[in-house]
Structure 1
Amino acid sequence: MEWVRGKTIGHGSFAAVSLAKPINQSSDFPPLMAVKSCGVSHCESLINERMILEELKDCPEIIGCYGDSMTIENGQRLYNVALEYASGGALSEKVKNSGGLRLSENEVRRYTNSILKGLHFIHQNGYVHCDIKLQNVLLVCDGGKDAVKIADFGLAKKTTGSGELNSKYEIRGSPMYMAPETVVGGEQESASDIWALGCLVTEMITGNPVWNCSDIGNLLMKIGVGAEIPEIPGKLSEEGKDFIGKCFLKDPRKRWTAEMLLNHPFVNTVSFKEETENQISPRDPFDFPDWESEQSCLVTPESSPEFNCWFGEQDEFQSGSPSIPPATRLGQLLTDQKPNWSVSNSWVKVR
């Protein structure tokens, strides 16, 4: 496959991600892709990611891979992997840009359901992701609604299935999401991904990291020593609290598996219906602060002498302020001037 590199949309320690378009359009490749590239001297992790993605290609909850290639650009030899383009970016950005408002619980349930399906497929095929976190879950548009897919398999590995401690004491992943058994003995099996999932779900709810600790040494001590677990959000439903509790069991042998969690009521009753974010029901017929009729959008102070009677002062309307209390708006309607019902061209058709 021949392709043209576009602008850079992300980068890591060794690899950068760019937009790319195939030169010859065909049904085998999408019109827009993301290409992950690095120098050939540092491509071991990226080669590992491409091989794993090819094995996991049948799961819709995992980012797609379209193959690899070698290029020479600006005198440097690059190894490239063509990936499915996630136009919505990372889930971490959605949480960060939520304006201080947490994601709705139904959104969290829906995303968690999809991530669990992906994790179940990964574990079922004998792999551990080793770096489950908000930054490695991407948003794609699926039928007009965003869906999530697990990405970044550069640290993924084959599971041993033994549950034994790693003699090399090899630690992979991000400290904030690490499981106790990983910190204590370098053990990273499927249960470690589930602990990280609990951290991810908690962060979706609160918008904050699960551990309030910036020092890496102290953080690892907090995770690995003692019985302390991350705080479970109090504003979560009882089902949600129980779900996270099943992820935060210190003993990995008692921690629930992805398959078990998929049957938990927090995710198996999730609603996939379209929802309006932060929609508040009106308390009375005048409690629609952002509503404007089709006609009112065309009204200006110059064209209507009654403008100030209906909408208040000119500067308030032009600033877009919707802060007039319902009682004030009702009072503005109660005037001694009788309406002229014969003038029909100013009526608003509502039915």
Structure 2
Amino acid sequence: MMATTTSNSLPWIRGRVIGRGSYGSVFLAFDRASGQIFAVKSVDLSSHSDQMDSLSKEIRILSSLDHSPYIVKYLGHDSDGLHLNLHLELLPGGTVTDAAARPCLSKFSDEETVRSHTRCLVLALRHLHRRGIVHCDVKGRNVIVGQDPSTAKLVDFGSAMRMGSVNRPRGSPLWMAPEAIRGEYQGPESDVWSLGCTVIEMVTGRPAWEDEGAETLRRIGFSDELPESPVGMSAQGLDFLEKCLRRDRKERWSCHQLSQHPFLASETVTESSPRCVLDWVNSEFDEGLESEDDDDRTELKKEMESPTVAELRAFSTSSRVGELCHGGGRTVYWELEEDWMVVRQPRTAAPATGAAGVKLNKGKAGGKEPFTSNLNQINHLLFVL
């Protein structure tokens, strides 16, 4: 049950902001009794209903999960009468996006580290999918590097949902699966597509697709194109990506299958989370071996039903693209820092998306002329498609 107290009587002290996003802010917090330092995600109780709904849903999902070493740990939640607060373990390692964009400052660009992070992410998603949960926003900024740089944890469950829910597309467009862009379906297979895009992001330091607004949405959702394979990646790694990035969702591998792929099969992952910032600073962590829960429960095989024709008509192709391109009457710039929840601010600006090195295969749609982001022009095309 959620505790409701005044700010002065809370058993913890709120510290400085360590991250901001469209659905609240993340603060350092200090437990008065134990001295533990943890993270608190807070939303004003007077905030827009979308913000409250997102954090409330994140609390429900995280509190329902049994522990996985590959998912951020839920510590509790409360309210001080002004804010709804979600308590989480502090993960000071930064995102894999930050790490991949700064290879000169770290060793995250080698394939062995990418392999290790990918295995952690696959096991996190397998844990969720077995329990009937779809993350819906898998991307590099939602994967935090562990105390051991070869480990990582999945965070930010504000877009997550239970399997079988019929919702409009949710997540970050450049990582969304074709069927999610079209508004037809979003399930475990969609997370697998996003996983493939995230692996490309970890290898290249940039999103798998160039951000060209509505034209990119058309390419992802309504063409036969695939992201370009990273140059220099091993044959096993490229085969792993091929299993993730199949446009027909029914042909993609499940996370259970991917966990046994040769690209990951030889890897072992250990993780020991810090109890507080002082433990992190002094590198005084308990050494512990944690493994994914591999009991005899059968893998969830529930087949998802697509939305009805009436539901799809109510949410037309053109309105789906419009919603993904625009929000609240303003243009959405998906790569702006304020649109993401950042755990650690990079010292230098990340390279702009769309730079040379990450190109799109033209596929069968290569002969089409580029489209402008003007919705009046693209709506007619998408209606025809």
Fold agreement, TM-score > 0.5? yes
Shift of 1:2: 1.1
Q: How does 1:141-180 map to 2 (within 5 A)?
A: 141-142=147-148, 145-160=149-164, 170-180=168-178
Equivalent residues of 1:88, 1:146 under 8 A apart:
no
Residue 185 of structure 1 aligns with which residue? 183
Unpaired segments ≥5 residues, structure 1: 274-351
CA contact (8 A) 2:117 2:151 kept: yes
Matches of 1:244 and 1:181, distance apart in 2: 18
Following superposition, the deviation at residue 271 of structure 1 comes to 6.1
Is 1:116 aligned to residue 122 of structure 2?
yes
- The Cα RMSD (Å) is 1.9
Letter in 2 for 1:19: L
User: Structure 1 residues 255, 39: CA separation in 2 closer, same or farther (over 3 Å shift)?
Assistant: same
8 Å CA contact 1:105–1:205 kept in 2: the answer is: yes
Instruction: Quote the residue 1:330 is aligned against.
Output: none
Question: Matches of residues 1-351 of structure 1 in structure 2 within 5 Å?
Answer: 2-25=11-34, 31-41=36-46, 42-72=51-81, 77-99=82-104, 103-142=109-148, 145-160=149-164, 170-215=168-213, 217-270=214-267
Task: Tell me how far 1:214 sits from its aligned partner.
Answer: 2.6
Classify 1:227/1:238 alpha carbon distance in 2 versus 1 (closer, same or farther; 3 Å). Answer: same
Question: Could you tell me how far 1:90 is from its partner in structure 2?
Answer: 1.7
2:76 maps to a residue whose letter is: G
| Deviation of the 1:99 alpha carbon | 2.9
- SS for the counterpart of 2:61 is helix
Q: TM-score, normalised by structure 1?
A: 0.69
Q: Secondary structure at the match of 2:77?
A: strand
Q: 1: CA distance between counterparts of 2:104 and 2:97?
A: 13
Contact 2:132 2:163 in 1 (8 A): yes
* CA deviation after TM superposition for structure 1 residue 175, in Å: 0.4
| TM-superposition CA deviations, 1:278-330 (whole Å, max 9, x none) | xxxxxxxxxxxxxxxxxxxxxxxxxxxxxxxxxxxxxxxxxxxxxxxxxxxxx
Please state how far the C-alpha of 1:102 moved relative to its aligned partner: 6.2
Cα distance, 1:113–1:184 mapped onto 2, change above 3 Å: same
Q: Deviations over 1:169-218 (max 9, x none)?
A: x0100000010111123410000000000000011111121112332x11
Q: 1:141 and 1:212, CA in 2 relative to 1: closer, same or farther beyond 3 A?
A: same
Secondary structure of 1:59's counterpart equals coil
TM-score, normalised to structure 2's length?
Answer: 0.63
Supply the distance in 2 between the matched residues of 1:218 and 1:79 (Cα, whole angstroms): 38
- What is the CA distance between 1:45 and its match in structure 2? 0.9
**Deviation per CA, 1:134-189, whole angstroms, max 9, x where unpaired?**
011112215xx55211000011001119xxxx5x6x01000000101111234100
Identity of paired residues, percent? 36
SS at match of 2:30: strand
Q: Which amino acid aligns with 2:13?
A: V
Describe the superposition over 1:52-96 as per-residue Cα deviations: whole angstroms up to 9, x where unpaired: 111223211110011111125xxxx11101101001122211112
- SS across alignment from 1:239: helix
Q: How many residues align?
A: 256
